[in-house]
Amino acid sequence: MKNLKLKIKTTFTLLAIIACSYQAHAQVTVGSNNPPAKAALLEIKNIEPNDPASPTDANNITVNDKGGGLGLPRVKLVNINTLQPFIPTGTDWTNNTDKVKEKHAGLMVYNIYVSPDGEDADKTFSQGIYVWDGAKWKKMMDGTAQRYFYMPSFTIKLVENNNPQTCDLYAEYKKQFTNDSNNPLFVSSNASLTRIPSPEKQRLYAKDELDYAITYYDTNIINNVSIDEDGVMTYDVVSVNTNSNSFVNIVFIVK
C-alpha cells in the first residue's frame, strides 16, 4: 500500500512539473485568466472582447478602469547607431562578433532625452518611443506626423482639340521619388539613395494607400478636372497660352 501511494504521489508530482513546464512555454495573458488571442505570445488584458463588429467597436476593448497599459522602460538614449546605455561600444560591438546588433532588433524603449539645438546628427533625439531595427534607433510615429505632401513640379501636357485628356499623378509621383533610369535628373547627396521613402513605411506609398486632391488650377488653361482612386487626373484643355498663373496644386493624402 505504501509503495502504491508513493508511486501515485510521484506520478502526480511529475505531471505537475510537466504542466508547469508547458505553461511556462505557452502563450501568456497578463491581467486576467482569459487566454490570449491566438496569434499573441503575450497579451495584456483584464476583460475579454465581446464579439466586436469592427476593430474600433466598443466591444473590442480589452482593458477597463480596473486595468492599465504597458509601461515601457524610460531611458536616455546616447547615439542613434548604438545600444547605449545598455551595451557599451567595446570590441564586441565594433566587430559585432556575437551579432549583438541583429539580436536586439525589435527592442522598444521610451526615450526622455531631448537633444539641444546644434547636436550632432547621430546624437539627435526627441521625446518618444524608439525601436531598434538591428542597426539603428527609429522613432515610432506618434499620430501627429504630417499626413499629406505636395507633388514636386512637373509639366502637364496640353493638347488642343483632344479632350478629355489624362495625367497619371501616381505614376509621376513614383517616377519623381525613385532614382532609376526613368528619372535621370534625380540627384542626391547620398549616392546609395534609390528612392525617397515614406516616413512610416520606409518605401513608396501604394496607389490604394493615398487619396488625391487638387487645391488650385488655372481655369483659363484647363477645366472639368477630376481624379480617380488610382490617381489619374482627367481634364479638358481650354487654352495652351500659359502664363505665371498656369499651374496646378496637387496634394497626396495618406489614408
pLDDT digits (tens, 9 = 90+) for 156-191: 999 999 999 999 999 999 999 999 888 999 999 988
The closest of 208, 211, 235 to 224, measured between CA atoms, is: 235
Choosing from 88, 121, 139, the residue where a domain stops is 139
Same domain (yes/no): 170, 84: no
- Do 8 and 106 share a domain, yes or no? no
Taking only the tens place, the pLDDT of each residue in 4-39 is 454 445 544 544 544 454 454 578 888 888 888 888
Specify if 91 maps to a domain: yes
pLDDT digits (tens, 9 = 90+) for 205-222: 889 989 999 999 999 999
Position 69 in a domain = no
| 152-188 residues labelled b (16+ CB within 10 A) or e (exposed) | eeeebebeeeeeeeebebbebbbebbebeeeeeebee
Same domain, 80 and 17: no
pLDDT of residue 255: 85
pLDDT the model gives residue 65? 83
pTM above 0.85, yes or no: no
Contact by Cβ (8 Å): 142, 121: no
Report the alpha-carbon distance of residue 26 to residue 96 in Å, rounded.
32
Contact (CB, 8 A) for 220 and 238: yes
How many domains, the chain?
3
Which range of residues forms the domain containing residue 106? 74-139
Tell me: cis bond preceding 55? Omega within 30 of 0 counts.
no
Tell me what percent of the residues of the chain surpass a pLDDT of 70. 87
pLDDT for the residue numbered 25: 53
- Same domain, yes or no: 128 and 168: no
